[in-house]
Amino acid sequence: MSLDPDSSPPATSRDWLFQSPPLTHSAHHHRHSSTRSFSTNNLRRTRRTFVSDPKPSSFQTSPSLSVSAPMRDSRSFGGLRRRIEFDRGRSSGRYGGERDSGREVEVSSDSGGNTEEYGGVLGEKVAYGKKFDGFGGGRLKVRWQLGCLIAIFFTLSSLLHKNFSLHNQVIDLQDHISKLNVRLRACNLSDPVDIINSIPHDSVYLPNKSLKISALIVSLTILSLPFLFFKYFHHVLKSRRSPNNTAEEVSLNKQIAYRVDVFLSVHPYAKPMSLLVATLLLICLGGLALFGVTEDSLTDCLWLSWTYVADSGNHTNSEGIGPRLVSVSISFGGMLIFAMMLGLVSDAISEKLDSLRKGRSEVVEQNHTLILWWSDKLGSLLNQLSIANENWGGGIVVVMAERDKEEMELDIAKMEFDFRGTSVICRSGSPLILADLKKVSVSKARAIIVLADDGNADQSDARALRTVLSLTGVKEGLRGHIVVELSDLDNEVLVKLVGGDLVETVVAHDVIGRLMIQCARQPGLAQIWADILGFENCEFYIKRWPQLDGMQFEDVLISFPDAIPCGVKVASYGGKIILNPDESYVLQEGDEILVIAEDDDTYSPSTFPTVKEAPFIDITRPARKPQKILLCGWRRDIDDMIAVLDAFLAPGSELWMFNEVLENEREKKLIDGGLDITRLVNISIVNREGNAVIRRHLESLPLESFDSILILADESVEDSAMQADSRSLATLLLIRDIQAKRLPFREARVSQGHRGSSSPGSWIGDMQQASYKSVIISEILDPRTKNLLSMSKISDYVLSNELVSMALAMVAEDRQINDVLEELFAEEGNEMHIRQADLYIREGEELSFYEVLLRARQRREIVIGYRLANAEKAVINPPAKNEQRRWSVKDVFVVIAEKE
């Protein structure tokens, strides 16, 4: 048998023999010359088959053996051959770049050791083929599942189609039989009219059966589409996973759940819209399904589907397996949808009620007073604002703080005063957040009050500064002004720098400190300030009266029977307020009058009264004497108080400081506060260390020799009003008791054997006797404590929180009043004084209040009220100013005059 290199062996039945490799070069040369070259094309047309025989064989191929020998003996080795097929795959890169479709290989069992060489190669290829078959099997498994689902779907569809087609054929046959019966009966009748009328009208309408079947198939298809799409996308995602990617991949279920969650969370109307779409989809699909299984029209089926959705009991009237199955399915969907709707409505109602309870709803008000933050001064502030709004029938006050709305309302309900028609609205939120500020209509408020924190002064002022920054950042702008309560005078400049013209500041500690110093120098001044700052009696008002233009200020003084002019707002000076101007000042166009009146609508100018000119009483006031003052306690602004005392007191005065601060630390604290002790002119400081509530510490002081004693709310307990007041009250009682025992008359009574009675009357009487020798001013924080002091009459007091609240309310009502208060509390300019009556009248002289007012103008003073000798309280802006009255030199007058 000749071997032609160009001849092609059969591609399907020929088995190729691979001989063992030669051992010598000559053998290799002989084998090369005698073997047959194989065509590549033949290899590509045949399937690759590797043959291996695991059994040992004695067959060996000689190097000199011709090709025809194995061909002739091939039959004898036919039983020892094994054919193994190995699919190298479609990819050329997987198996060395060859694209051969297959190859058959015969391996002789006599190949000996060479079989191991080929066996190793074949083993690797077979192993790789197993791996490939495993991967292909997984894909076939997924495709098999998807194919089964599709086959089941189409099988069910075809069965339903055949079922309904048979049912339709039966109906058609019945209709045809009925028509034939009608015609048969018509042939036996003589009247043609009766024949026409005897034909039933129901037979005229023949429903379109194919349309009903199509509707049923469409409804089933729409219901199956989400499931099919889900399985398809799941299969696509699974097939795209790389075998080398070992990272955990998120499943399709989690991705869909996440997208749905984001959609429902981001869009506010996503839940009701989704529920509406689901309801419409259920009605439409149910209507189509009913249209396919019943003989009703599509409109009737859609309406019937809605009744099944709205009321699950309507499906009880359905007849037949198909209509009952569809109606039950629609009813189940309707119950599910209405359950979700009920939950959605319940959640919305609960959320709305919770929003109202927590104070999250928006305040729709305008021209209201807005109070930001919460402090102990809120009660007094609300009381003053209620009094101020009484003549308007009440007002609206909105309070916003970082507290629960219910807690704030409960605390406000416990306040013991009448709101006089004013409504207080509480909202929970942060004044530092613009969204919360918008919630309380900050841009429409006529005044915004920022309260200070009761804790650390620097932290409180820092919070106030951030609040002002938030208020200035409101996009809509602010209609009203901002009143900021500060704790430290050093931070006032920074807050005004940030707020600009919108801000008015009230430094609480500075106001109270200066007021205590004025009251220590002039006993009884605290009650006068309480009357002027509060809205219950008389207060400051500014208004323009065009009919007064061109008049001198001296004539203006007696032009108001129900008010007392005390200043002018000069238009030519940019609206600057001048207290106590010259009597020769002539009012210009645009000038406004500053008066003290009961309310802004209770006064107006009238005709000049008849006032006789009173002669000037030339009495020289005695020179100021040095004073000895004791400060009990330590305040944050005590350095400012020392500076004010140095400006007010006469040269040679002594200031004793008694507190628990170590003496070597006091000077450092004063220097850090900005006070230079070496520059003090009128006073000298005497330091004493001790506890003001320990009797033996107080007994070491010469308490009977002090002209004035100031009991301060100590810095260590000022965060708690009750604790600070208890400490101040204990210090007051100890000082008064020590003073009473050191009185001369007390020693006389003891020498005569008359011991002091233990009854409360004699005990308080001794303390009242001691109060005539020296003045004690106590700083009180809680308004409830003032009742104890006012009843005992053993001390004057300054109700600091209430006075600061009064000042805040007054500035909130009219921001121009802040300039007046700043001048009255400053070291320079005008201030409130209590003058003896002998400066203006003689003993037993009868004068009207107008005449006293004109005599005071000769000293460049304005009399605003008086206190009779036998009275406890002063009268500010007295009525009937033109009536004659007999005065006593023991009476005192309250005046506004320049500081001495």
pLDDT value of position 686 = 93
pLDDT value of position 530 = 87
Task: Report the C-alpha gap between 653 and 305 in whole angstroms.
Answer: 100
Beta strands 775-780 and 796-799, pairing class: parallel
DSSP secondary structure, 490-509, as one string: GGHHHHHHHHGGGEEEEEHH
Mean pLDDT computed over 294-302: 82
pLDDT value of position 632 = 94
Q: How far, in whole angstroms, is CA 82 from its chain's centroid?
A: 83
pLDDT digits (tens, 9 = 90+) for 261-289: 777 777 777 878 888 888 888 888 888 88
High-pLDDT (> 90) share of the chain, %:
29
pLDDT digits (tens, 9 = 90+) for 234-261: 666 666 655 555 445 666 667 777 777 7
Q: Which of 135, 149, 110, 107 is nearest to 16 (CA)?
A: 107
Q: How far is CA 887 from CA 353, 522, 562, 720, 876, in A?
A: 66, 21, 21, 46, 16
Phi, psi of 745 (to 5 degrees): -70, -25
pLDDT value of position 408 = 92
Contact between 573 and 586 under an 8 Å Cβ cutoff? The reply is no
Task: Report the C-alpha gap between 216 and 214 in whole angstroms.
Answer: 5
pLDDT digits (tens, 9 = 90+) for 202-237: 443 444 666 777 777 777 777 777 777 666 666 666
Q: pLDDT-derived band of residue 674, with 50, 70 and 90 as boundaries? A: confident
Alpha helix positions (H), 677-741: 695-699, 721-741
Contacts of 43 (CB under 8 A, 6+ apart): 100, 103
pLDDT digits (tens, 9 = 90+) for 498-523: 999 999 999 988 888 888 888 888 88
pLDDT value of position 433 = 93
Task: Report the C-alpha gap between 306 and 300 in whole angstroms.
Answer: 10
Rounding to the nearest 10 degrees, give the CA dihedral for residues 797, 803, 804, 805. Answer: 140
- 545 pLDDT higher than 90: yes
pLDDT digits (tens, 9 = 90+) for 114-137: 433 334 443 443 334 433 344 444
Mean pLDDT computed over 730-736: 88
The C-alpha angle with vertex 86 and arms to 82 and 90, in degrees rounded to 5, equals 160
Q: Can you give 615-658 as a three-state secondary structure string?
A: CCCCCCCCCCCCCEEEEECCCCCHHHHHHHHHHHCCCCEEEEEE
Task: Report the C-alpha gap between 604 and 702 in whole angstroms.
Answer: 54
Provide the residue count of the chain: 900
The strand pairing partners of 797, in sequence order, are 778
pLDDT value of position 33 = 38
Contacts of 826 (CB under 8 A, 6+ apart): 514
Mean pLDDT computed over 24-33: 39
Q: Beta strands of 740-867 (E only): which ranges? A: 775-780, 796-799, 830-836, 846-848, 862-867
Beta strands 862-867 and 892-898, pairing class: antiparallel
Contacts of 308 (CB under 8 A, 6+ apart): 286, 314, 315, 327, 330, 331, 334
- 53 pLDDT higher than 60: no
Mean pLDDT computed over 641-646: 90
Q: Beta strands of 700-829 (E only): which ranges? A: 708-711, 775-780, 796-799
Task: Considering only residues 209 and 150, tell me which one the structure prediction assigns the higher pLDDT.
Answer: 150
Q: How far is CA 28 from CA 17, 25, 670, in A?
A: 16, 5, 114
Mean pLDDT computed over 837-841: 88
Structure tokens at 677: 């002790």
- 67 pLDDT higher than 50: no
Does the pTM of the predicted model rise above 0.75? Answer: no
Mean pLDDT computed over 807-827: 92
Amino acid in position 808 = L
DSSP secondary structure, 354-397, as one string: HHHHHT-SPP--SS-EEEES--TTHHHHHHHHHHHTGGGT--EE
Q: Which of 655, 376, 394, 323 is nearest to 517 (CA)?
A: 655
pLDDT value of position 339 = 84
pLDDT value of position 243 = 56
Q: pLDDT-derived band of residue 143, with 50, 70 and 90 as boundaries? A: low
Q: Enter the DSSP assignment of 608.
A: P
Contacts of 549 (CB under 8 A, 6+ apart): 587, 588, 589, 591
Phi, psi of 484 (to 5 degrees): -110, 125
The C-alpha angle with vertex 389 and arms to 386 and 393, in degrees rounded to 5, equals 110
pLDDT value of position 361 = 80
Q: How far, in whole angstroms, is CA 282 from its chain's centroid?
A: 41
Mean pLDDT computed over 3-13: 41
pLDDT value of position 239 = 65
